[in-house]
Amino acid sequence: MPSLAKIFENGFACTVQGIDSASGVATQPKLFAQDSVRTREGDYPLGHESVMNKILDVPLGSQNLQIYSATMAHLSEGYDSATRPTPSMGAVSRRIAPHEFFERRHTSYALQSRQDYFVTWNYRRPFEGGRDYRGSIIWHEGEIRWKKDATLAGDVPAPLLLTEGPGGAEFRTYDQFCVTDRDAGTLTVRLETGREKPYRRAGFIRAGGYCATMTTDLGYLAFLASSKTEFRYLVGSSPQTPSLVGRTYIGLGHDKQQVKAGEVWPYRFAMATLPDARLSNELLEDMTHGYNLDGGTNGYPFTVTTGKFDGAEFFFTVAADGNEAEFSVGPRDFICDLPFRVRGIEDNGCAAIYVASRKFFRFVAVADGTAYFQEPVLPAAHIWAGNPFVCENKAVKLTLVVDGQTPGKAPLLEVHNPTDRELSTRIFSPPHTPQFGGLRAAVTLPAGDSVFYRVVGRELKPEPR
């Protein structure tokens, strides 16, 4: 999970290198967010006088994945000056003007890796805490909305990110770059350091393909494109590193492309740090297929018995039917537990999943009517997801207490009325809910107060205070 400090430090993208590795000494690639645009008239914004202003929102923080977004529509003062202190002293960058060419909205989904943070941080045993770590992934979704007509220029006119090798003569004596070029096929370039002739190549990344730089002690840094977006790339020599393949730009648009005001460019991609010592594209190919980035739905077996299947690109997505969904997924192995999203779930304080092999409810987070969570699917997992209890009055909030009680005690449902009036309403449990499915009860709730009920069979029995 990225820290808020790291999110603020690096804007929307977050520095992906070693995000879950707990390593502060390994040589790592660098990832920088890019917000410029190159047109026939030149680069915008130019120089260091101004930068893109990012307004950060964190709609979801959970024990699994984290969601954070940035809205980018204005330019701000670039760096500290004689009249403005450094950002580390708490100064808020002043807006200079609206961005002339576009507005941009970007959302990132940082998956929980298999790093055991309790062992790593609390017990200071990093090797033990990281023994199951297999990499970290952040999924990105966004759109660029053009505000004026323009003629784009350059190999990557609208770059989204820039990666660089770690640099330093003591590091590896080779560098490897791998890309699925739309026109030339899969290319792997390995160059020895000290080569006099610079290397440079630009092209389109095949939709659903990848682009990776293998220059780190932690493995390599991989860009994985959605099947619905075609990205441009430019790889070339970097004077800051001993390698001739160390700097890569990835973004949208192409040279001489005409854009019109009002055009919207959506995009999706994943960035992954992969601690894989193999200098091959085997893991990249497996991830592209496994996360269905190739446009298919056969990355792993699945069936949906309640609700409606709504896509499997990166997230396994289901639209709930009556506040619940039920499905089986797997078997399939992933470097992080598979991310799920179930749409049509209420944020009523009572959203949970129930995995058949565990036989207990695990409560999950909801953002904008969608429940987000991760689960391993090796072996296959049969999952119920939804609201175990729902109130017909949407102002009412619910808390279900099913674990950690005295043995033999029935589950407890806390019903909270935050309004200033007495409410007479109904509570129900969706029909396929484990343990409680089909329960319906009429309740009367005092104004601004809570009522406790024991769940006995299919009935709610008032619990004395």
- Asked if 140 contacts 171 with a C-beta cutoff of 8 angstroms, the reply is no
pLDDT in tens, 175-191: 678 999 999 999 988 76
Torsion sign (Cα): 216, 291, 359, 437:
positive
Are residues 24 and 130 both part of a single domain?
yes
CA–CA dist 127, 357 (Å, integer): 29
Residues whose CB is less than 8 angstroms from the CB of residue 312 and which lie 6 or more positions away in sequence, other chains included: 292, 297, 299, 302
Q: Tell me, what's the pLDDT at 51?
A: 79
Are residues 381 and 437 both part of a single domain?
no
Residues whose CB is less than 8 angstroms from the CB of residue 239 and which lie 6 or more positions away in sequence, other chains included: none
Q: What is the average pLDDT value for the chain, to the nearest integer?
A: 85
Are residues 372 and 409 both part of a single domain?
no
- Domain end call among 363, 386, 409: 386
Residue 143 has pLDDT above 60, yes or no: yes
Are residues 121 and 263 both part of a single domain?
yes
CA–CA dist 141, 13 (Å, integer): 11
Query: Do the domain assignments include residue 398?
Result: yes
Query: Do the domain assignments include residue 258?
Result: yes
Omega before residue 59 within 30° of 0, cis: no
Are residues 237 and 324 both part of a single domain?
no
Neighbours of 144 (CB within 10 A): 24
- Domain end call among 290, 318, 343: 290
CA–CA dist 351, 122 (Å, integer): 30
Using DSSP's 3-state secondary structure scheme, residue 261 falls into: coil
CA–CA dist 161, 102 (Å, integer): 17
Q: In which domain, by residue range, is 434 found?
A: 390-462
Q: Which two tokens stand for residue 244?
A: 């001739």
Q: Which two tokens stand for residue 155?
A: 């190999």
pLDDT in tens, 291-318: 999 999 999 999 999 999 999 999 999 9
Are residues 342 and 396 both part of a single domain?
no
* 87 — pLDDT class (breaks 50, 70, 90): low
pLDDT in tens, 222-263: 999 999 999 999 987 655 454 445 678 999 999 999 999 999
The residue written with tokens 């689960």 in the block is 375
Q: Tell me, what's the pLDDT at 216?
A: 64
Are residues 45 and 156 both part of a single domain?
yes
Total structural domains in the chain?
3
- Domain end call among 260, 290, 320: 290
Q: What is the dihedral of CA 43, 204, 313, 296, to 10 degrees?
A: 160
If you ran DSSP here, which 8-state letter would residue 128 be given?
Answer: H
CATH number, domain containing residue 306: 2.60.40
Are residues 409 and 373 both part of a single domain?
no
Query: Do the domain assignments include residue 334?
Result: yes
Are residues 245 and 379 both part of a single domain?
no
pLDDT in tens, 395-417: 999 999 988 788 888 999 999 99
Query: Do the domain assignments include residue 70?
Result: yes
Are residues 195 and 107 both part of a single domain?
yes
Are residues 43 and 158 both part of a single domain?
yes
